Amino acid sequence: MKAQLTKMFLAAYGRAPEILAGAPGRIEFIGNHTDYNGGPVLGAAIDRGVWVALAGRADGQRRFTSDQRDGIVTLAPGDQAKREGSENWVNYPLGVLHALPVFGLRAPSGFDYLATSNLPAGAGLSSSAAIELASALVFAEAAGERPLRETLVKIGKHAENNFVGVPCGILDQGVSGFGEKNRLVFIDCRGPQFATVPLSTGAHFWIFNTHTKHALVDGLYAERHGECMAAAKALGVELLVDTNLAALEAAKPKLKPAVYRRAKHVLEEMARVEAAQNALAQDDLAAVGRLLTASHRSSQHGFENSTDELDFLVDALVTMPGVFGARLTGGGFGGAVMAMTGADFGDAQAQIIAEAYGKKFGTRPDILHALTGDGARLL
């Protein structure tokens, strides 16, 4: 990647880059809607991501280009304005520049910047966190700073929440920052605290992106959030992580049926994340896979954030040899399903699934095969 990135930078700016960095995309492995309830989540950094190259400029100009966009965006010294229209991708690195001083770090003044990626953008794999973390690394290095991983993660999240204006949780940046090949990232979302757990090298990921999105997804998300908070309040706690299933059962008569089902899903999902950690420690992929599928069933019937398309994919996948388990990944109400498989599940099997899906729904899902990959790093 180093040579390719250098070549691209030379072609764009006619000189060599000084600093290179990369950061991966991620999969939500298990832990569905646990984050804002203060619970745990497991994510996987994948072997695809965003790479950034940078060289300083003495004149204070900041120039940005990406292989996914036309042309170069030039910002005059002191121009802090958010970019609109086709230039709005620059808000990701620009948001990072804004966030650096918030965390007590210097930001570079003038530079030429180039981003390239082998991660589909907008596919739920968090190319946004990847570009934020790779940008944070090159900017910090250019300014002579060496932030901790925790700080990099916070900078990325701050940029996305406050500058770009997307209210994402900690999973995206946490996994892109702390990912490691052959490991999963465990996040205790309340801290937040980060750890990694080993994942057998035999585990493969297949992601089937339906490109469907429920028309009311934002409203439904807010409704689920509200139901979880209502359950916590009725149980006398701040967040659902502070209670347990026994307390929920005791309070069931005074809860609306839907609120009870949402809280049950979240509490059981928290337990599944813990169980998955234990099964991973035993290298028991079959047990981990059963937890993934159980997570999906709970989404389907309890949290009711699945769709016919996602259910179809999970139902088809779990009957295939080589599939340990499958579940919707991300917020739900459309989007993607991920399956964890052995090496014996391959493209031929994935195509069978896509074809069956196409027959039923009239379009084929995008298929992506990934392994775990390393977290954000300077190259």
Question: Which parts of this chain interact with ligand ADP (CB under 6 A)?
Answer: 50, 66, 68-69, 89, 92, 115, 117, 121-128, 131
Looking at the Cβ atoms of 19 and 46, the one nearer to Mg ion is 46
- The piece of 123-131, 150-158, 192-200, 289-297 that touches Mg ion (CB under 5 A) is 123-131
- State which of residues 128, 277, 305, 372 lies at the interface with Mg ion (CB under 5 A): 128
For 4, 22, 92, 133, 345, the CA distances from 1, given in Å and listed in that order, are 5, 9, 22, 17, 28
* Binding partner of residue 50 among ligand ADP, Mg ion, none, CB cut-off 5 to 8 Å per kind: ligand ADP
The answer to whether residue 172 is catalytic is yes
* Minimum gap (Å) between residue 289 Cβ and ligand ADP: 24
Instruction: Select from 120-128, 190-198, 240-248, 287-295 the region that touches Mg ion (CB under 5 A).
Output: 120-128
Q: How far is the CB of 64 from ligand ADP (least distance, A)?
A: 9
Nearer Cβ to ligand ADP, position 141 or 160?
160
Tokens of 225: 């959030």
The interface partner of residue 178, options being Mg ion, ligand ADP, none and the CB cut-off 5 to 8 Å by kind, is: none
Residue 151 is a binding residue for Mg ion (CB under 5 A): no
Residue 222, φ and ψ in degrees, nearest 5: -65, -35
Q: Which does 295 bind (CB under 5 to 8 A by kind): ligand ADP, Mg ion, none?
A: none
Q: Closer CB to ligand ADP, residue 63 or residue 297?
A: 63
Considering the complex, what minimum distance in angstroms separates the CB of residue 26 from ligand ADP? 9
Strand duo 366-370 + 323-329: pairing = unpaired
Indicate the residue among 59 and 70 with the shorter CB distance to ligand ADP. 70
DSSP state of 300: I
Per annotation, catalytic residue among 35, 47, 112, 172: 172
Residue 41 C-beta: closest distance to Mg ion, Å: 15
User: Mapping DSSP to helix (H, G, I), strand (E, B) and coil, where does residue 8 land?
Assistant: helix
Q: Kindly write down the DSSP assignment for every residue of 325-368, as one continuous string.
A: EEEEESS-SEEEEEEEE-TT--HHHHHHHHHHHHHHHSSPPEEE
Minimum distance from CB of 6 to Mg ion (Å)?
27
Beta strands in the chain (DSSP E): 19-30, 40-56, 62-66, 73-75, 111-117, 183-188, 193-198, 204-213, 323-329, 334-341, 366-370, 377-378
End-to-end C-alpha distance for the chain, whole angstroms: 9
Closer residue to ligand ADP, CB minimum distance, 211 or 297:
211
Whole-number Å distance between alpha carbons of 91 and 107: 15
Q: Return the residue matching tokens 């916590």.
A: 232
Please identify every residue annotated as catalytic: 172
